[in-house]
Structure 1
């Protein structure tokens, strides 16, 4: 009786398995401590196969950064509600960002913690991703300024700076949300939801600290809730 041949795994599937293993290993071990032996073991393949498909450790890390960056940008842009008001578009984009980083914590750790700390070309790749997201947020804030009738100096000089500040705050908040845990009704430790984290960001960025400390809260639909829980349409 002849030997049974094992089914050949398509190259694309095998590469995805290796990249998934690399994301997990780089996130948990760090770039310098991670080894190609460990990545191959997690992927269930031989180390020579990893080198054959993805070349060196540096090339592998670069490929991981590119894949995770593209996935994050795609998640944010796809989440934005087309045709919505400026605050609804920003809200939905933030929720998409926080949902993606919560669902892919290892990928986010590689981008936010590992890639930025190991110099070129890795830091440059992350900076390029961030520039793309900042440009997208700049468009949203520019639309918000026009929607509010604010033209001229704010639209020309400050919108880009506000976009940088907002993206930086969202990145920091994503890090906090992925680390923080709250105790749910079942007694299990839970991370805050993407919706709750996006609401926190909107309260900070859209409502503003002054109004926020006065009891107002942002809510979908553009309502501000005061200290006594009353809702009033935004002016």
Structure 2
């Protein structure tokens, strides 16, 4: 069997083991047995447990980012682009629960260098979402003034962070809750977020009501 294929089999086994048992509890013996190889072969191909876990994080992160980017309907309306992007996100996390557990739960709770690897992925997704929201907002405003543009950029950056954070939490909840589909999770977040985004794009801001 080619090395690349065997290595992917080992990483598949590692993602499943790390995702279900956690980084600390997972053993190289269990990973080797699930992959159908000897433990020395796992070490030969992927070195230490730490390096194997890091490789799993990078692979799962790259797959998630690629899924979101590929899922967005280019040229569609702003809400349709966001809807399709969220749908792709939740479809991927639902289809790969062990990979999402590695990214969202395991990597973040075991410090560096694992948390840093996940932060890189998150920054990529936030940047992508910022671009989607920003393009729609600027089009809706029809070329705002410099001051308005600065405020708009800050709003969009904050909204992108909030939206990605909400999507992460909702994906964990959806995977743990029986009967919640990826489409339902995406619709929940759209219903929560789009009214506010739509108002902002039209220049309508929320302000505290008078006492």
How high is the TM-score relative to the length of structure 2? 0.88
If each structure's strand is expressed as a fraction of its own residues, which one has the higher value? Answer: 1
1:148 aligned counterpart, secondary structure? helix
Give how far 1:132 is off: 0.4
Separation in 2, partners of 1:45, 1:39: 9
Which aligned segments of 4 or more residues in structure 1 are displaced greater than 2 angstroms? Answer: 153-156
If each structure's helix is expressed as a fraction of its own residues, which one has the higher value? Answer: 2
Separation in 1, partners of 2:194, 2:151: 15
Q: Aligned Cα RMSD in Å?
A: 1.5
Give how far 1:197 is off: 1.1
User: Alignment partner for residue 120 of structure 2, among 128, 142, 162?
Assistant: 128
Corresponding position of 1:226? none
User: Alignment partner for residue 99 of structure 2, among 98, 104, 107?
Assistant: 107
1:31 aligned counterpart, secondary structure? coil
2:194 equivalent to 1:206: yes
1:138 aligned counterpart, secondary structure? helix
Corresponding position of 1:167? 164
Corresponding position of 2:13? 21
What are structure 2's unaligned runs of at least 5 residues?
200-211
Give how far 1:154 is off: 3.7
Separation in 2, partners of 1:154, 1:78: 30
Separation in 1, partners of 2:139, 2:187: 21
Corresponding position of 2:202? none
2:171 equivalent to 1:179: no
Separation in 1, partners of 2:125, 2:115: 15
Separation in 2, partners of 1:164, 1:156: 12
Separation in 1, partners of 2:46, 2:115: 20
What are structure 1's unaligned runs of at least 5 residues?
1-8, 182-189, 212-235
**Structure index of larger Rg:** 1
Note the 1:24-35 alignment, pairs <5 A.
24-35=16-27
How many residues align? The count is 193
2:163 equivalent to 1:155: no
Please give the per-residue CA displacement for 1:81-105, whole angstroms capped at 9, x wherever unaligned. 0101111111100000000000000
1:67 aligned counterpart, secondary structure? helix
Please give the per-residue CA displacement for 1:176-233, whole angstroms capped at 9, x wherever unaligned. 110111xxxxxxxx3x221121111100000249x9xxxxxxxxxxxxxxxxxxxxxx
2:141 aligned counterpart, secondary structure? coil
Separation in 1, partners of 2:73, 2:134: 16
Give how far 1:157 is off: 1.5
Give how far 1:143 is off: 1.2
Corresponding position of 1:228? none
